Amino acid sequence: MRQPATDDRDPGAPEFDGITNLVELFEHAVETHGDRAAFGSLVGGQWVWTSYRQLAELVVRCRAGLASLGVGRGDRVAVISNNRLEWIVAAHATYQRRAIYVPMFEAQSESEWDYTLRDSRAKVCFVASAGIGHRVNTLREDLLDLQHIVPFDASDVGTGSMRELLRQGAGRDIKARLPKAQDMATIIYTSGTTGEPKGVRLTHENLVYQATALARVRDYGPDPRSMGFLPWAHVFGGGVELNTALLRGVTVAICSNSDELFREMPRVKPTVLYGVPRIWNQLYDQVLRELGTQSGLGKRMFDNAVQARSRQQQGDQPSFSQRFAAGFAERTVIPRLTQRMGGRLRMAVSGAAPLAAEIPEFMDRLGIRIYEGYGLTESCGSVTTNPTDAPKFGSVGKPLPGTEIVIDTVAVDADDPREGEIIVHSPGVMEGYHNRPEETARVRTPDGGLRTGDVGYVDDDGYLFITGRVKDLYKLTSGRYVAPAPLEQKLRLSPFVLQCMLYGAGQDYNVALIVVDVPYLRAYLGGDERPAEALIADPRTRRIIHDEILRHSRDFRTFELVRNFWLETRQFTRDNGLLTPTFKLRRRAATRAYEARLLSLY
């Protein structure tokens, strides 16, 4: 069965119609937004802002510097760096040489860098620091194409530094080369949750389509300001967020990590924020804990404000007492809750993984609307998004204008007859995997669609719901199929549960690995200072987790429930190989690490 879902919304924003490549996109941003601050960098504890026009001047100098290194059409320019101003300068200088940008994460291993540099045949590699440059240099014996390593952080004007490159480019009149829409712009290597990383070839047409489509359907309001903490080496941060921000004149404060994000939000005061479920879970927990410190009157005022807003959204008229309480809460309780996010945040975008519906529902009550979307690297990061005027919590929204979704129910054995593999037809779909024609062919349908490997369904209103991954589905001995992701999302809403993973393939029932939030548990138990292992071995802890599992599993079917669990204190991290650089669970690796303990639960 094939169930199509299309979006025929008026694309609007005719000023974007002439943009066919990233060079034109960048020029449009500079011409339109000029002296407006484009990016902010935290230097010595203070924010230093670079305007769109100043950014363009740096790109011109870097473009000339790349020309002096012999970078031209089709050459690969790699980068291993955290988010920083130099990253975006190097990217657009590369595009303006009609070359191809290949981003990598600092957190990746040297073997992953080596693989990416060899597979892409990179000619130049920008690196965040001289230390990383030294590590890359030790790999050069096998990197026959790599000619230049350029550190961003070199403090002096030394051979090969970014500062030297910009100095060489100053005053040189090297014109930008205009790429064709079909020219490749970037190769982004997937994080490898299910095997060896694959290089996804994205063209200028792919990236311009998704940026202009998102810019058309979303209103950022006056003086938009964001905080760029999602890694730009990933398509969500470096493609969806950055390119759309350039078009809409968003001022982006560059953050190195989520800790810096939470610390600096009150100073930056963002109006829009892009994030992944892990971030929204943390914000949700923080706000709930702040609400827990309110007086009984404060909590009642908040509840009344929530009820009033809910009635207004449903078209009903709140009572006088609700309106009075809501007005008081709007001036007192709610501002205290939202100040930790800067006090101006009105719109947020979530992607990269499904988000439990309770979080956007709760944040909406605070006046902060989270628009969940869906996409993958192979689709240029964005396929669907929730409409501004009619979001549906729990869904990932409707297809972008020009995109079609087909649900292939034949490809998946599922209990829900609506469910199937999601197939995408879109101008954002990749050119293919780099050097892997056979694997490209495997994810292509005869009519040009992209098999995503994700499982979902489209409801009667045209909204897409994600229910799991084809490869994550497993069968119990009863013959019932389990998609672990939805219940995992729900369990992570518990303040006691930091991370979790369901297990049950070939078993009679499901069990779970639960990573406990030890600081929260310790505080809940009255400041118990025993070692973490002793805390999770306490029978009280098992009762707490048991009750939390029951509380968050009420909407699930009997065969989907967790019957036993293993408690753990060690977190899944990128360093121990259990999370990808974008914080997705490496399910196979986690299963290998914990399978003996999980099997002992049966």
Residue 1 included in any domain: no
Residue 278 included in any domain: no
The pLDDT tens digits of the residues spanning 495-527 come to: 899 899 999 888 889 999 999 999 889 888 888
Q: What's the confidence (pLDDT) of residue 173?
A: 84
Min mean pLDDT across 87-96, 205-214, 285-294, 307-316 is at 307-316
Greater model confidence, 314 or 388: 388
Q: What's the confidence (pLDDT) of residue 288?
A: 66
Greater model confidence, 369 or 544: 544
Min mean pLDDT across 42-46, 75-79, 121-125, 318-322 is at 318-322
Under the banding of pLDDT at 50, 70 and 90, the label for residue 158 is: very low
Under the banding of pLDDT at 50, 70 and 90, the label for residue 157 is: very low
Under the banding of pLDDT at 50, 70 and 90, the label for residue 7 is: low
> What CATH number is given to the structural domain containing 536?
3.30.300.30
Helix (H, G, I), strand (E, B) or coil at 450: strand
Both tokens of 331, joined, read 């001036």
Residue 369 included in any domain: no
This prediction's pTM? 0.80
Residue 424 included in any domain: no
Count other Cβ atoms within 10 Å, centred on residue 390: 10
Min mean pLDDT across 108-122, 327-341, 387-401, 562-576 is at 327-341
Residue 311 included in any domain: no
Identity at 279, one-letter amino acid code:
I
> What is the chain's mean pLDDT, rounded?
85
Last residue of a domain, one of 201, 232, 254: 254
> What CATH number is given to the structural domain containing 83?
3.40.50.12780
pLDDT higher than 60, residue 151:
yes
The pLDDT tens digits of the residues spanning 546-591 come to: 999 999 988 888 888 999 999 999 998 878 888 877 677 888 888 8
- Rounded percentage of the chain residues whose pLDDT exceeds 90: 45
Greater model confidence, 288 or 170: 170
Under the banding of pLDDT at 50, 70 and 90, the label for residue 1 is: very low
Residue 502 included in any domain: yes
Residue 557 included in any domain: yes
DSSP annotation string for 319-383: PHHHHHHHHHHHHTHHHHHHGGGTS---EEEE-SS---THHHHHHHHTT-EEEEEE--GGGTT-S
The pLDDT tens digits of the residues spanning 556-567 come to: 888 889 999 999
Residues 6+ apart with CB under 8 A from 91: 79, 101, 103, 238
Q: What's the confidence (pLDDT) of residue 418?
A: 84
Last residue of a domain, one of 231, 254, 277: 254
Q: What is the dihedral of CA 140, 146, 152, 157, to 10 degrees?
A: 90
Under the banding of pLDDT at 50, 70 and 90, the label for residue 156 is: very low
Residues 6+ apart with CB under 8 A from 548: 491, 494, 496, 497
Under the banding of pLDDT at 50, 70 and 90, the label for residue 427 is: very high
Min mean pLDDT across 104-108, 249-253, 348-352, 442-446 is at 348-352
pLDDT, mean of residues 418-433 = 92
Domain that holds residue 500: 474-599
Q: Which residue in 35, 89, 83 sits closest to 62, CA to CA?
A: 89
| Backbone CA torsion sign across 57, 58, 59, 65 | positive
Q: What's the confidence (pLDDT) of residue 236?
A: 86
Residue 61 included in any domain: yes
The pLDDT tens digits of the residues spanning 163-203 come to: 989 988 887 889 999 999 999 999 999 865 555 789 999 99
Q: Which residue in 508, 509, 514, 472 sits closest to 492, CA to CA?
A: 514
Q: What's the confidence (pLDDT) of residue 11?
A: 52
What's the total number of domains in the chain? 2
The pLDDT tens digits of the residues spanning 238-281 come to: 888 899 999 999 999 999 887 888 889 899 999 998 888 877 87
Total residues belonging to the chain? 602
